[in-house]
């Protein structure tokens, strides 16, 4: 007969398969640490390429680890119900590591042009992606909090990486202060949720709140907890009314970093939101989300209309896109979950690409970032202008780009079921029409304005950037021409979460 003590020791040791369940996180952390160790002992001038190369290798290894763990035989809860590997987390691991690869590829050239010492830059990107990957598989609110902090702290530092520039430091400090404030809200929400259900494990919370599912009622504390957690997470995805930091931070941060933090952490936080809203049966979600979605779309698009700085313009556009995405969260899970997942993937592809182009155009010190500077780019650099045009068309949502199907799935998910969100969809469609105007403004300026006389010539595209652009372009078009495989994979999560 086995003693209870023996059983307890067995339970205290995680199974070996558990390590496969967090394999990408492990791989990314190891590579991040290697970079940190090598950085001080390497010659400064040579370290740029080497460290970047190691980071790229690490991110590719992370992607490979994701593909390895994608085999269903590894799926399940691990580490005492702390993490869960399933189609859902594999999907987001894939998005996060893929974005990391693209960002590292587009950073090479950027770092050299800006004369930024690489050093911990690449390590921070890898550490950040560890946090983001962990967020999508974490099943424990406290672990989610830790993962959120790992990802946030990395991005706080990355935002201020253009150290010579005042606005970059401003961006970093602002992001840090407001971000910490928002995480505090999230933590408070976790505490209240613990008070309501007696647990911080999503499995237990789901069981406790499951009784109320469908009744429209729930413990008051749970309502408050969800609301506070939503404040914290809403901040991270730049959803209105918690969006105020976005334009300043995006304007100051280095462009590849903006490409990174507007996509990968957002995808991860949306994953957390999906877990909390659908898997934990959190009450009161739809209303909060309805309001936040409508506000984000409207504020983002209207404010973007009057921007002259392209980075600020895309910052407001990312607020608007968070709004479109939130529509899916207010929809029925069967359609809403895959729609939201598809949206994060396609938004990641087009936005990373767009910011890679912007980073290249910006030149040393990010001097050329206003709309004026883009005059005549169609002539000065036809290839890059054409690529940026495709990304912008995708952001508008023109067919055969990923952006079209992303919007299509979200809107059609919202219209399913017995209580279609007609109002929200109308707001969304009107907003898409408004949005077309400011994206087109960039295209018009690029092609139809004559370049200014003193304009510096655009540097040729480096290999790394070329790869980054090629891959994100391919992904954007692929999602627009053949969205089925991705949508089908995302649809696997419906049963798992619900």
Residues that bind another protein (CB under 8 A): 378-379, 382, 393, 398-400, 408, 411-412, 415, 429, 433, 436-437, 440, 444, 447-449, 482-484, 487-488
Closer residue to another protein in complex, CB, 263/298: 298
Q: Which is nearer to another protein, 92 or 404 (CB)?
A: 404
At its nearest, how many Å lie between another protein and the CB of residue 485? Answer: 10
Smallest distance, another protein to C-beta of residue 275, A: 24
Nearest distance in Å: CB 248, another protein: 30
How far apart CA 81 and CA 338 sit, in angstroms, is 24
The interaxial angle of helices 264-274 and 141-159, nearest 10 deg, is 160
CB nearer to another protein: give 326 or 385: 385
CB of 74 to another protein, least distance (A): 28
* Region of residue 417 (phi > 0: left; psi between -120 and 50: alpha; otherwise: beta): left
Q: Which is nearer to another protein, 218 or 376 (CB)?
A: 376
Nearer to another protein, 440 or 496 (CB): 440
For the CB of residue 449, give the shortest distance to another protein in the complex, in Å: 7
From the list 108, 142, 135, the residue with the least C-alpha distance to 122 is 108
138 forms beta bridges with 83
Q: How far is the CB of 267 from another protein (least distance, A)?
A: 21
Nearer to another protein, 152 or 476 (CB): 476
- The least distance separating another protein from the CB of residue 325, rounded to whole angstroms, comes to 19
Cβ atoms within 10 Å, residue 418: 5
Three-state DSSP state, 78:
strand
Q: Give me the least distance between CB of 373 and another protein, in Å please.
A: 17
**Residue 237 or 388 with smaller CB distance to another protein:** 388
Cβ-Cβ contacts under 8 Å for 287 (sequence gap 6 or more): none
Phi-psi region of 488 (alpha: psi -120 to 50; beta: other; left: phi over 0): alpha
Are 250 and 318 within 8 A, CB to CB? Answer: yes
Report how far residue 394's alpha carbon sits from residue 404's, in angstroms, rounded to the nearest whole number.
7
> Closest CB to another protein among 127 and 411?
411
132 vs 327, beta carbon nearer another protein: 327
CA distance 497 to 68: 22
77 or 398: CB nearest another protein: 398
In order, the DSSP letters of 260-319 are HHTTHHHHHHHHHHHIIIIIS--TTHHHHHHHHHHHHHHHHHHHHHT--BHHHHHHHHHH
Q: What is the largest CA-CA distance in the chain?
A: 88
* Contact between residue 437 and residue 305 where contact means Cβ atoms under 8 Å apart: yes
Comparing CA positions, the residue from 124, 117, 121 lying closest to residue 154 is 124
**Distance set, CA 55 to CA 130, 184, 260, 279, 479 (Å):** 13, 31, 15, 34, 27
Q: CB of residue 484 vs another protein: minimum separation in angstroms?
A: 6
Helix (H, G, I), strand (E, B) or coil at 397: coil
Tell me how far, at minimum, the Cβ of 235 lies from another protein, in Å.
Answer: 32
Report how far residue 450's alpha carbon sits from residue 434's, in angstroms, rounded to the nearest whole number: 26
Q: Which residue lies nearer to another protein by CB, 408 or 467? A: 408
Locate 222 and state its tokens: 């749970």
Least Cβ distance, residue 263 to another protein (angstroms): 24
Q: Give the whole-angstrom CA distance, residue 208 versus residue 48.
A: 52
- Which lies closer to another protein via its Cβ, residue 38 or residue 434? 434
- Minimum Å gap between C-beta 433 and another protein is 6
Q: Which two tokens stand for residue 159?
A: 């935002």
């Amino acid at each position: 007969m086995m003693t209870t003590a023996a059983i307890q020791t067995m339970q205290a040791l995680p199974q070996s398969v558990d390590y496969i369940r967090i394999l990408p996180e492990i791989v990314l952390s190891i590579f991040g640490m290697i970079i940190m160790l090598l950085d001080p002992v390497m010659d400064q001038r040579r370290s740029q390429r080497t460290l970047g190369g190691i980071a790229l290798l690490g991110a590719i290894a992370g992607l490979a680890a994701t593909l390895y763990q994608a085999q269903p035989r590894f799926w399940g809860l691990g580490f005492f119900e702390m993490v869960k590997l399933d189609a859902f987390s594999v999907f987001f691991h894939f998005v996060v590591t893929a974005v990391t690869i693209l960002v590292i590829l587009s950073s090479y050239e950027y770092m050299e042009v800006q004369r930024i010492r690489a050093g911990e830059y690449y390590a921070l990107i890898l550490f950040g992606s560890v946090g983001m990957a962990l967020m999508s598989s974490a099943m424990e609110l406290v672990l989610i909090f830790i993962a959120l902090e790992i990802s946030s702290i990395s991005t706080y530092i990355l935002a201020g990486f253009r150290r010579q520039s005042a606005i970059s430091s401003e961006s970093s400090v602002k992001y840090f202060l407001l971000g910490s404030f928002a995480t505090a809200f999230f933590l408070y929400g976790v505490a209240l949720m613990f008070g309501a259900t007696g647990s911080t494990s999503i499995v237990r919370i789901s069981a406790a709140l499951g009784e109320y599912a469908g009744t429209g009622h729930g413990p008051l504390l749970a309502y408050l907890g969800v609301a506070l957690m939503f404040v914290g997470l809403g901040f991270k995805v730049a959803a209105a009314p918690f969006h105020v930091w976005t334009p300043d931070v995006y304007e100051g941060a280095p462009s590849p970093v903006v490409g990174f933090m507007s996509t990968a952490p957002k995808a991860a936080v949306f994953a957390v939101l999906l877990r909390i809203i659908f898997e934990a049966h959190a009450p009161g979600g739809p209303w909060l989300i309805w309001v936040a979605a409508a506000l984000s779309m409207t504020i983002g698009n209207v404010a973007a209309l009057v921007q002259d700085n392209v980075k600020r313009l895309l910052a407001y556009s990312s607020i608007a896109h968070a709004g479109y995405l939130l529509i899916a969260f207010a929809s029925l899970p069967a359609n809403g979950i895959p729609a939201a997942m598809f949206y994060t993937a396609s938004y990641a592809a087009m936005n990373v690409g767009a910011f890679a182009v912007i980073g290249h155009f910006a030149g040393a010190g990010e001097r050329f970032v206003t709309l004026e500077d883009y005059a005549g780019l169609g002539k000065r650099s036809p290839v890059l202008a054409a690529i940026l045009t495709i990304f912008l068309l995708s952001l508008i949502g023109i067919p055969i780009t990923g952006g079209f199907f992303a919007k299509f799935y979200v809107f059609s998910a919202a219209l399913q079921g017995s209580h279609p969100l007609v109002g929200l969809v109308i707001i969304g469609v009107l907003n898409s029409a408004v949005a077309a105007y400011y994206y087109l403004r960039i295209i018009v300026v690029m092609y139809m304005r004559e370049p200014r006389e003193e304009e510096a010539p655009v540097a040729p595209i480096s290999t790394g950037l070329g790869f980054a652009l090629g891959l994100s372009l391919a992904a954007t078009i692929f999602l627009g021409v053949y969205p089925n495989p991705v949508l089908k994979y995302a649809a696997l999560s419906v049963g798992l979460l619900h």
